[in-house]
Amino acid sequence: MTKTLAEILKEVDVLKISGSDKILIRNIRFDSRKVEAGDLFFAVKGTTSDGHDFVLKALENGASAIVCEHFQTVQETKATKIQVKDSAMALGMAASAFYGYPSYKMKVVGVTGTNGKTTSVFLLYQLYRDLGYKVGLLSTIENRIGNEIIPSTHTTGDSVQINKNLHDMVEAGCEYCFMEMSSHAIDQKRICGLQIYGAVFTNITHDHLDYHVTFDNYIKAKKQLFDELPAEAFALVNMDDRNGQVMLQNTKARKFTYSLKKMSDFRAKILENQFEGLQLRINDKEIWSSLVGNFNAYNLLAAGSVAFIDRQNADEVFVALSRLKPADGRFQVVPSQSGIVAIVDYAHTPDALKNVLETINDVRQGNEKLVTIIGAGGDRDRLKRPLLAKIACEFSDRVILTSDNPRSEDPEDILNEMEAGLTHEMKRKCAKITNRREAIRTACMISVKGDIILVAGKGHETYQEIRGVKYHFDDREILDEFLNPSLKS
């Protein structure tokens, strides 16, 4: 794919241009290491580095033109230079133009919130496929174009990758794309240039303060998505979250609400909640779902609400909702010949962990022992570490603190920070086992038929990141190994 620089800059607010805008561009880059001959390089300021420092490197690698916020570092070069006010925003607009404005050729629905993003987009993807549409998915777990699965590395990819994926979806005949829109992506303008058909807000709780610094900044990042929606789009928010109404304050979009507790446009009531599934009443219609828990009732309702707003046939939507399956690593039950109930969940925030543990305690009979294995990621929000340990102890009979993705940190230091949140009584039922495999093995050894093991924090992830290296590690595989030993012989 090639386009002239003028075609790419069509929607970009250019302050100044030095050189020709007729040159042919082969690709768009913002990583100088990936630049090849004929590329357009965007100097974007990041959280740890500034692309302006790598302009000369990009030119050495063959960049045909440079988009930047100031000309100081490229003053002497003969390459075409384009000055813009915001390189990140310009990158999004240019990427959309380069790939032929793909978001304008399909209906893109974004889901944002601390918890429930992945499950909600996965449910929407399944729901619309069941309704007969060809659909795309952009999520933490994976990206999908129809039946094709593409590995995912971020909650929301960079703007170039997003537009390339959307372009491929359009080429494949997709009519809808459901995508996670993280607060980082919104704040970093990775979704600039997209035409969004609708946005969904699930909830907001304590997370990502290592990046946003304050909770107020975190809320504002989420709210920005709704503030920038066009009038023809829809905004759907969870009214049971106290910030749901905040998201709607300044939006021009059509406003809709959903809830389990308050008056709203779309309401659901939990009639039964078991390990086998949920019995729900949604707007006076009863459905059964294999998904479990209060939080999944919200996710199902959000997915159904989108379809109702989109004027899909209500009877077909209810039938499709009853067929939906959970996303990988989201309250995923690992079969056990021993009769132990083993659950793997991605819960890595205090609120998400509390939701999962409350769900388990709502469903359990009362005599079973609940063993929770939990860690905390390194180089991430440290304030939530003691909270995770405290919540695990409040809602579990036994707790094992273990390593998650320690990254560059010493895992022992992380566990000590988690343990600092525990009272003397809580420490009595808590153990620290740094090796995650050993922690899971120990939980299996101390559990008997009917007991429940929750392995939280990593969910769908199939690796453990230690000192910059990703080692294969899948909680589900380890549980299967220890709970079903005879099947391995």
Helix (H) or strand (E) holding 7: helix 5-8
Kindly provide the residue ranges of all beta strands, DSSP E only, lying in 113-188, ordered along the sequence: 135-138, 142-145, 148-151, 176-180
Give the pairing of strands 277-282 and 285-289. Answer: antiparallel
Question: Over 50: is that where the pLDDT of 316 sits?
Answer: yes
- Note the pLDDT tens digit of each residue in 444-458: 999 999 999 999 999
Mean pLDDT of 82-95: 96
Burial of residue 112 (CB within 10 Å: 0-12, 13-18, 19+) is buried
Cα angle: 413, vertex 419, 420; to 5 degrees: 90
- Please, what's the b/e burial string for 355-368 (b: 16 or more CB within 10 A of its CB; e: otherwise)? bbbebbeebbeeeb
CATH class of 332-488: alpha beta
Residue 466 vs residues 110, 208, 434, 456: alpha-carbon distances, Å: 32, 20, 12, 18
User: Taking the domain 102-321, which CATH number applies?
Assistant: 3.40.1190.10
Helices (H), 310-349: 314-321
- DSSP assignment of 79-123 equals SEEEEES-HHHHHHHHHHHHTT-GGGGSEEEEEESSSSHHHHHHH
Determine the 3-state secondary structure of 133 from DSSP. Answer: coil
Q: Is 311 left (phi over 0), alpha (psi -120 to 50) or beta?
A: left
pLDDT at residue 160, as a whole number? 95
Percent of the chain with pLDDT over 90: 81
What pLDDT was estimated at residue 157?
78
pLDDT exceeds cutoff 90 at 328 = no
Tell me which CATH homologous superfamily contains domain 3-94.
MurE/MurF, N-terminal domain (3.40.1390.10)
Average pLDDT estimate for 156-174: 93
**Mean pLDDT value across the chain:** 93
| 488 confidence band (pLDDT: 50, 70, 90) | low
Span(s) in the chain for CATH 3.40.1390.10: 3-94
Average pLDDT over residues 73-92: 86
Which two three-digit tokens encode residue 40?
């357009």
Residue 212 has pLDDT above 60, yes or no: no
Q: Where residue 172 falls among pLDDT bands split at 50, 70, 90?
A: very high
pLDDT band at 211 (very low <50, low <70, confident <90, very high): low
The region of weakest confidence among 127-141, 195-209, 292-306, 310-324 is 195-209
Q: Between these two residues, 434 and 115, which has the higher pLDDT value? A: 434
Strands 398-401 and 370-374, bridge-based pairing: parallel
Per-residue model confidence as pLDDT tens digits over 363-415: 898 889 999 999 999 999 899 999 999 999 999 999 999 999 999 999 999 99
Mean pLDDT of 96-121: 95
Confidence category of residue 346, pLDDT binned at 50, 70, 90 = very high
Average pLDDT, integer, range 104-109: 98
Give pLDDT tens digits for 426-444. 999 999 999 999 999 999 9
Helix, strand or coil for residue 330?
Answer: coil
Task: Give 93's contacts (C-beta < 8 A, 6+ positions apart).
Answer: 11, 12, 192, 193
Among the ranges given (53-57, 312-316, 478-482), the one the predictor scored with the smallest mean pLDDT: 53-57
- Tell how strand 277-282 and strand 148-151 pair up: unpaired
